[in-house]
């Protein structure tokens, strides 16, 4: 790995840790259940993963700048609802409806970002408000009913013949790659890391922090909308109750991936691995017949375990690479 300006790159061995966890889980479930390593499992995973992936990517950016977005689940539902209503009731074709849905996400995200950045209100509070607003909007748009769309949107979630992958899954992977590229290579990525580390220092370097923070929330909004589109394709309907609690799953995936909740440090690829770990665990546990309460308890333990592991990764890593002793705030 070539050195990067961001600091000593933690990625290689740190992603390897997550990959190892993932492999262990797969091996574990394969040995415990005869069905795990099968096409059915793969299809279930392929359906679950895209939505959580794109939403978690947006969340990674938000957490990187030391913010949080609690509204992604509701925004996703609202955007899917907009698309569903436009197609089912107004007879719009797929593409314009999809664009309208993404624009809705953009508007929601930009609004949250602008209010919190411009007036320095914690994003926790603003997005908590947006969580309510968007959920209300979703009910309003759909008249509190699930909109059935049928096969018109089905092809978003269906595997493309010959490729075996659905457009949703491909889209999600493209988003991951693009976002990681932005984070590591571009000025915007560097600004996110810098803002998450010391926002005032960045502002006093003459960088317009308000603008970049709005952009981050806008991206999170668009990605929530995209998640909604993917879910629409998979369910073939728009449910105003969709995505309740999604923000917590997304935060869980990001945290398992090692992104710091206090900002300034994180990786999109690792978030994706976090998503895979959560998805594999859920599917595997379900196949083993673990009850819903049991699944939740185990998932909770894994989240806490992952964060603990992250705490002690530094000293572990020191054995493997040349590394500096963390300084304790003193020069």
Partner 1 sequence: MTAGEPPLLAIDALHKQFAVPVLRGIDFTLRAGEIHALMGSNGAGKSTLCNLIAGIHRPDSGNMRLSGQPYQPASLHSAEASGVRMVMQELNLFPTLSIAENLCFNRLGNRAGVINHQALRDSARAALARLNLDELDPDTPVSALGVGKQQLVEIARVLAQPVRLLILDEPTAALTDPQIDQLFGQLDILRSAGIGIIYISHRMSEIQRVADRVSILRDGALIATENADEMDVERMVHLMAGPAMARIPPKTPTTIAATAASNGSATKPGHVVLKIEQLGRQGAFTDINLELRAGEVLGIGGLIGSGRTELLRTLFGADTADTGGIRLAADDFSRLQQLRNPAEAIAAGIGLVVEDRKGQGLLLDKSIALNIGLGQLGTLHNRLGIVNDKAIADNSAEICRQLDIKHDDLQQPVAQLSGGNQQKVLIGRWLLRDLQILLFDEPGRGVDARSKLLIQELIRDLAAQGKAVIVVSSETEELLALADRVVVLSNGRLAGEFTADTVSEQALLEASFRFYTTAGQKVAPPLEIS
Selection from partner 1, ligand ATP, none that 264 binds (CB < 5 to 8 A by kind) is: partner 1
Nearest to 138 by CA among 104, 169, 181, 170: 104
C-alpha to C-alpha distance for 83 and 126, rounded to whole angstroms = 25
Nearest to 147 by CA among 159, 138, 156: 138
CB of 202 to partner 1, least distance (A): 7
C-alpha to C-alpha distance for 164 and 156, rounded to whole angstroms = 13
CB of 120 to partner 1, least distance (A): 13
Nearest residue (CB) to partner 1, 185 versus 296 = 185
CB of 5 to partner 1, least distance (A): 5
Long-range contacts of 95-101 (CB under 8 A, 24+ apart): 98/229, 101/225, 101/228, 101/229
Nearest residue (CB) to ligand ATP, 289 versus 322 = 322
Nearest to 316 by CA among 258, 260, 261: 258
Long-range contacts of 121-128 (CB under 8 A, 24+ apart): 123/62, 123/67, 123/68, 123/69, 123/217, 124/68, 124/70, 127/68, 127/69, 127/70, 127/71, 128/70, 128/71
C-alpha to C-alpha distance for 191 and 92, rounded to whole angstroms = 39
Selection from partner 1, ligand ATP, none that 198 binds (CB < 5 to 8 A by kind) is: partner 1
Selection from partner 1, ligand ATP, none that 163 binds (CB < 5 to 8 A by kind) is: none
CB of 328 to ligand ATP, least distance (A): 8
Nearest residue (CB) to partner 1, 203 versus 296 = 203
The count of residues in the chain is 331
Nearest residue (CB) to partner 1, 53 versus 116 = 116
Residue nearest to ligand ATP (CB): 327
Please give the C-alpha separations between residue 325 and each of 25, 291, 318, in angstroms, as whole numbers.
Answer: 32, 44, 9
Nearest residue (CB) to ligand ATP, 2 versus 331 = 331
Exposure letters 271-310 (e unless 16+ CB within 10 A, then b): bbbbbbbbbbbbbbbebeebeeeebeeebeebbeebeeeb
CA dihedral defined by 175, 172, 155, 89, rounded to 10 degrees?
-70
Selection from partner 1, ligand ATP, none that 16 binds (CB < 5 to 8 A by kind) is: none
Stretch 298-327 residues interacting with ligand ATP (CB under 6 A) = 324-325, 327
CB of 204 to partner 1, least distance (A): 5
CB of 193 to partner 1, least distance (A): 7
C-alpha to C-alpha distance for 246 and 86, rounded to whole angstroms = 24
CB of 320 to ligand ATP, least distance (A): 18
Q: Which residues bind to partner 1, rule: CB under 8 A?
A: 3-8, 185-188, 190-191, 193-194, 197-198, 200-208, 264, 322, 324-325, 327-331
Nearest residue (CB) to partner 1, 6 versus 22 = 6
Selection from ligand ATP, partner 1, none that 200 binds (CB < 5 to 8 A by kind) is: partner 1
Nearest residue (CB) to ligand ATP, 322 versus 327 = 327
CB of 317 to partner 1, least distance (A): 14
Number of residues that bind ligand ATP (CB under 6 A): 4
Contact positions toward ligand ATP, by CB under 6 A?
Answer: 324-325, 327, 331
């Amino acid at each position: 790995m070539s050195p990067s300006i961001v600091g000593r790159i933690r990625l290689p061995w740190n992603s390897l840790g997550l990959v190892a966890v993932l492999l262990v889980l797969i091996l574990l479930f394969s040995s415990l259940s005869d069905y795990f390593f099968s096409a059915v499992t793969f299809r279930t995973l392929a359906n679950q993963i895209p939505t959580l992936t794109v939403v978690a990517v947006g969340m990674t950016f938000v957490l990187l700048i030391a913010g949080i977005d609690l509204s992604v689940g509701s925004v996703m539902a609202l955007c899917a609802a907009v698309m569903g209503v436009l197609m089912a009731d107004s007879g719009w074709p797929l593409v314009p409806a999809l664009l309208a849905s993404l624009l809705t996400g953009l508007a929601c995200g930009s609004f949250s970002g602008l209010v919190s950045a411009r007036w320095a209100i914690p994003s926790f509070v603003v997005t908590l408000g947006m969580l309510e607003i968007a959920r209300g909007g979703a009910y309003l748009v759909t008249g509190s009913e699930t909109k059935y769309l049928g096969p018109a949107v089905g092809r978003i979630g269906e595997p493309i013949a010959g490729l075996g992958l659905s457009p949703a899954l491909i889209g999600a992977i493209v988003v991951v790659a693009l976002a990681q590229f932005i984070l590591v290579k571009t000025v915007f990525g560097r600004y996110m890391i810098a803002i998450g580390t010391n926002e005032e220092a960045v502002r006093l370097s003459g960088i317009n922090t308000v603008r970049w923070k709005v952009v981050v929330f806008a991206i999170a909004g668009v990605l929530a909308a995209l998640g909604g589109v993917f879910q629409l394709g998979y369910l073939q309907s728009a449910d105003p109750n969709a995505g309740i609690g999604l923000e917590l799953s997304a935060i869980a995936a990001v945290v398992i991936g090692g992104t710091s909740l206090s900002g300034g440090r994180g990786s999109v690829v690792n978030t994706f691995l976090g998503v895979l770990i959560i998805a594999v665990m859920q599917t595997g546990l379900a196949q083993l017949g673990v009850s819903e309460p049991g699944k939740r308890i185990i998932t909770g333990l894994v989240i806490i375990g992952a964060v603990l592991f992250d705490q002690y990764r530094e000293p572990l890593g020191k054995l493997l690479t040349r590394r500096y002793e963390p300084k304790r705030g003193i020069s």
